[in-house]
A = this chain, B = another copy of it.
Amino acid sequence: MDIVAEIVRSLEEDIARLAPGDRIPSEHDLMTRFGATRASVRRAIEVLESRFLVRRSQGAGTFVNRRIDLVLAPDRAPSLHEAVAASGSVARTFVIGTERRAAPEDIAARLGAAAGAELTRLTRLGYIDDDPATCGEEWLAPGALDVADLHLKTVESLTEVLRASGADPVRARSRVSTAFAPPEVAERFTARDPVPVWHIETLTTDGRGGRPLMFSRAWTRQDRVRVVVEYEPVP
């Protein structure tokens, strides 16, 4: 009984012996192997997918998933690029938009701007192994950066740009939780179903004086990245 659970168990063992990127047998093959319906086989694979163990691609097959560990700690720079590189994958980030726009009230407040103030907003999209994995926006405090400096292609260097402009950017406070990608983000991920994501917000201030410089808000796919947060109480 419970043929789905049996298929799940069996496939789990198989996956443990495979490497990320390896293909698992087609649904048709699994039907004959387990003597089950396609519906049952699919249920089992859906369970594995919801555990982030496999990813499916229509027309291509089902493959063992690779997941990056990202540790966020007070004493460590939270570099997804480094974490990705360390695990042998390739990370790329593109700025897909820069604009001046009236900032939402909460963000304006954090950046010390008046409600409704027009601020510079960068939109970026990050890829891991050529798949979109993270998506987010950065809001710059008034006067933090000259707009002329923003013809950059990678956002990893944004703190570098801030530093070059005479500031001493340090992260002031971060907020991490999980959510489901809002429609405009899910669209970037070319997914329709609810995509479980990490929601990470960070306020960057000037180490000399504490003036707010930048507010960052990002959504990162949970099936591509596992975030671990370590924190200590401030005495």
* A234, B74: Cβ atoms closer than 8 Å: yes
Q: Are A228 and B175 in contact (CB under 8 A)?
A: yes
| Interface assignment of A85: CB less than 8 Å from any CB of chain B | no
Which residues of chain A in 193-235 are interfacial with respect to chain B, using CB atoms and an 8 Å cutoff?
193-194, 222, 226-235
A147 within 8 Å of B by Cβ?
A: no
* Residue pair B174, A230 in contact (C-beta under 8 Å): yes
Q: Which of A22-30, A99-107, A112-120, A165-173 contacts B (4 or more CB under 8 A)?
A: A165-173
Alpha-carbon distance A231/B230, docked complex (angstroms): 8
Chain B, residue nearest A52 (CB)? B180
Chain B residues within 8 Å of A176, by CB: 176, 228-231
> Which of under 10, 10 to 19, 20 to 34, or 35 or more describes the interface residues of A?
20 to 34
Q: Determine if A5 is an interface residue (Cβ-Cβ < 8 Å).
A: yes
Residues of chain B within 8 A (CB-CB) of A230 are 173-176, 231
Q: A74-B231, A233-B170 are in contact. Are A51 and B180 (CB under 8 A)?
A: yes
> With a CB–CB cut-off of 8 A, which chain B residues contact A235?
170
- Residues from chain B with Cβ under 8 Å of A234 in the complex: 74-75, 232, 234
Given A74-B234, A178-B178, A234-B234, does the pair A47, B193 have CB atoms closer than 8 Å?
A: yes
Distance in angstroms between the alpha carbons of A5 and B192 in the assembled complex: 9
Q: Can you name 12 extra interface pairs (CB under 8 A) apart from A47-B194, A173-B231?
A: A47-B193, A50-B50, A51-B180, A72-B231, A74-B234, A172-B232, A174-B231, A174-B232, A176-B176, A177-B229, A178-B178, A178-B222
Sampled A-B contacts (12; CB under 8 Å): A50-B50, A74-B231, A75-B233, A173-B230, A173-B231, A176-B176, A176-B229, A176-B230, A178-B178, A178-B226, A231-B232, A234-B234
Q: Which residues of A contact B (CB under 8 A)?
A: 5, 47, 50-51, 72, 74-75, 170-178, 180, 192-194, 222, 226-235
